[in-house]
Amino acid sequence: MEKVREKLRLRFLAETDIEIGPDSKDWGRYAEWLEGLAVIEITEGLVKENDMMRRKMQEAIRILEKGIAGCYTKSI
């Protein structure tokens, strides 16, 4: 867990040039930055999940279309 915290602190430092430490006065800005980061990660996860669901639905539609087309041609 400490490695993750250090990685996040270093990323924050790289993006904002603000050093976060025990006596830092910028903890509020750091918390807002973390919240934004979490929102981005959640959004990316939702987009991936939506894309996966879209592909599955498209596959199901293709299967149904083939079945319907097969039934139609057999009845003629």
Q: What is the pLDDT of residues 16-71, one digit of tens each?
A: 999 888 888 989 998 999 898 888 888 888 899 999 999 999 999 999 998 888 87
Q: If you average pLDDT over residues 3-10, what whole number do you get?
A: 86
pLDDT at 75 over 60: no
Interatomic CA distance for residues 31 and 65, integer angstroms: 51
Total structural domains within the chain: 1
pLDDT at site 63: 92
pLDDT at 76 over 80: no
Contacts of 48 (CB under 8 A, 6+ apart): none
Domain that holds residue 35: 2-75
Confidence of residue 6 (pLDDT cuts 50, 70, 90): confident
Residue 76 to residues 15, 69, 70: CA-CA distances in angstroms?
67, 11, 10
